[in-house]
Structure 1
Amino acid sequence: MSTEDRRRMIVTAVLPLVAEHGTAVTTSQIARAAGIGEGTIFRAFKDKEELIDECIAEALRSDSVLEVLADIPLDQPLDRKLVEAAGAMSAYLDRIGAVLGAVAAGGRLRRKPPEAPEGEQPQGDPRRESFVAMNEAVAELFDPERDRLRGSAEDLAAMFTALQFTRARGSGLSSVDTMVDLFLHGAVEAG
């Protein structure tokens, strides 16, 4: 197994532990979860902090939610497509919240990425790129309904995606079905 493959395997195995224990996760727990010896951790990562940074980066990656959004059948009714999309985005945001919350509770937030060397372009903002990619995927869900929409598919997708990031979890309006209904039909009952 290549070092990169081993790193990915360890991060995948350890991510749930980081969500549960944050920075208090032990190398013994890490090794057990990954099915490796403790020394193997340090052949793949400089230290536990680097591993936790990689777990945070993995939690922030939007690949899995983008795959789910791409797999939503476009021929079903718009409300069903949006319920599926909201469910996928909610799970993604819950994962981010669990990992970042646990790490922050341990007194540590993600270290800032290193500055780009002089004369080189800085890397893009992965969170912004992720948000843009989600907007594009959600716009595709609106696209078959383009002739019935009160705005562009892109604008409605941006509003819908922003709503997912700000939705109050735990409130009576937090159910995905209720939120989609309110988004599509408004807050006032038809007369």
Structure 2
Amino acid sequence: MTPIPRLSNDARRAQIVEAVTPAVLEHGAAITSRQLADAAGVAEGTLFKAFGDKESLLTALVEHHMTDERTEGFESDSLEAVVETMVGVLVERMRFMFQLVVALGPIAQRVAGERRADFEQSKHWIAEHFEPYAGQLRVTPLVAADLVRTLSWAAAASWGEDAPVSSADDILQVLLHGIVRTDAEPDASAPTPLAGPPASVLEDQKA
């Protein structure tokens, strides 16, 4: 029988981090070592051996999730498909990051501050996916990437509301078509004007 390979220290730490993430999002920084151990399915001593203490584990968790993993699969034969996929991925990821910051407060904010350069760099790899369609863009690929990232952030954030006002589909429509109506159809939300008397009646009255 082939022996099961043992995980490296880094792989083991990553496995623990993934396992405890749902519990951390639920309990926040107040989560206990016992709760973390139960979520990971290991003894508390194993956690201390792998991370040192609870705050180090939580810091490692934030760093793990803030690592820029460039998702593949944006390649397509149309600009619209690339934008649609990109917006969906970014909104989902940013919503998760908001949850993480809310749950862990200063710990997550500190790591985010340390990773600011990585965040700024992210618009460049987004721009790479727009390069093949540069001729179809009204702005440069880098500007397009910055706008996609900014609007995706807006769709992911609630900004004090119970739920985000804009959706990923709203952002997609704005990016591809703008916010100004270009068709000749009347606004469906506008009241229908009352019909006036026929012109023939007005002519009779004048006479």
| Coarse TM-score class (shorter-chain normalised) | 0.7 to 0.9
CA change 1:93–1:83 in 2 (3 A) is: same
Name the aligned partner's letter for residue 12 of structure 1.
E
CA change 1:26–1:92 in 2 (3 A) is: same
1:72 lines up with 2:60 in the alignment? no
Larger radius of gyration: 2
Q: Which of 124, 145, 149 is the aligned partner of 1:136? A: 124
1:42 lines up with 2:44 in the alignment? no
CA change 1:35–1:171 in 2 (3 A) is: closer
Q: CA deviation at 1:125?
A: 4.6
Distance 2:164 2:24 in 1: 27
Cα shift readout 1:95-116 (whole Å, capped 9, x = no counterpart): 1111110122xxx544857xxx
Normalised by the size of structure 1, how large is the TM-score?
0.78
Q: CA deviation at 1:177?
A: 1.9
Q: How does 1:17-166 map to 2 (within 5 A)?
A: 17-63=23-69, 66-67=70-71, 70-75=72-77, 77-104=78-105, 108-110=106-108, 112=110, 125-133=114-122, 135-166=123-154
Name the aligned partner's letter for residue 179 of structure 1.
I
Name the aligned partner's letter for residue 22 of structure 1.
G
Distance 1:14 1:87 in 2: 25
SS at match of 2:29: helix
**What percentage of residue pairs aligned between the two structures are identical?**
30
Q: Which of 11, 15, 20 is the aligned partner of 2:21? A: 15
Instruction: Please say if residues 45 and 51 of structure 1, whose CA atoms lie closer than 8 Å, have aligned partners that are also in contact.
Output: yes
Q: Is there any run of 5+ residues in structure 2 with no aligned partner, and where?
A: 1-6, 184-207
CA change 1:138–1:110 in 2 (3 A) is: closer
Q: CA deviation at 1:5?
A: 2.6
Q: CA deviation at 1:179?
A: 1.2
2:191 is matched with: none
1:116 is matched with: none
Q: CA deviation at 1:187?
A: 0.8
Instruction: Please say if residues 152 and 168 of structure 2, whose CA atoms lie closer than 8 Å, have aligned partners that are also in contact.
Output: no
